[in-house]
């Protein structure tokens, strides 16, 4: 018997750490970037809560050095706060990915990290990473 059983509350933190918390699907619109010129594509991240509890969620997108997350070419990381996801609920996060004159032809790996938070967005309970590739032509 746990300490929370005495007060009628259940400890869901250990359950949330054991299982995969999310199902992450991604797509690009349009599906390729333009090489050696200015252009953009929208990364659509669909996040589905696979746990049995409502969770506070956020997504962090990280890109390599030749592409960026803003039109100036400076931002390499962006956080999108999605709020509370009920069990089996899914939400979308849309992030623009930009190419520039320094973007060579080839494939670029983008890292997407989904977090489960507790209390507020500063406290992380669990996280899950996914990598996706965008091609510059």
CATH of the domain at 71: 2.60.40.10
Does residue 96 carry a pLDDT above 60?
A: yes
Range of the domain at 127: 3-136
Compute the mean pLDDT over every residue in the chain, rounded to the nearest whole number: 88
pTM summary value: 0.83
Domain tally, the chain: 1
Q: Three-state SS across the chain?
A: CCHHHHCCCCCCHHHHHHCCCEEEEEEEECCEECCCCCEEEEEEEEEEECCCCCEEEEEEEECCCCCECCCCCCCCEEEEEEEEECCCCEEEEEEEEEECCCCCCEEEEEEEEEEEEECEEEEEEEEEEEEEEEEEC
pLDDT band at 1 (very low <50, low <70, confident <90, very high): very low
CB 67 within 8 A of CB 99: yes
Does residue 133 carry a pLDDT above 80?
A: yes
pLDDT tens profile 4-62:
444 445 555 555 556 688 999 999 999 899 999 999 999 999 999 998 999 999 999 99
Please report the pLDDT score of residue 6 as a whole number: 43
């Amino acid at each position: 018997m746990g300490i929370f059983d005495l007060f009628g509350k259940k400890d869901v933190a250990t359950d949330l750490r054991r299982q995969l918390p999310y199902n992450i699907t991604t797509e690009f619109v349009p599906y390729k970037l333009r090489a050696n010129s200015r252009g953009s594509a929208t990364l659509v991240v669909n996040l589905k809560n696979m746990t049995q509890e409502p969770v506070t969620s956020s997504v962090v997108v990280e890109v390599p050095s030749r592409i960026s997350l803003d039109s100036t070419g400076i931002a390499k990381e962006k956080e999108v706060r999605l709020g509370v996801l009920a069990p089996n609920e899914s939400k979308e996060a849309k992030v623009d990915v930009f190419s520039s004159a320094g973007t060579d032809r080839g494939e670029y790996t983008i890292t997407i990290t989904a977090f489960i938070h507790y209390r507020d967005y500063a406290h992380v309970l669990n996280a899950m990473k996914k990598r996706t590739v965008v091609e510059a032509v």
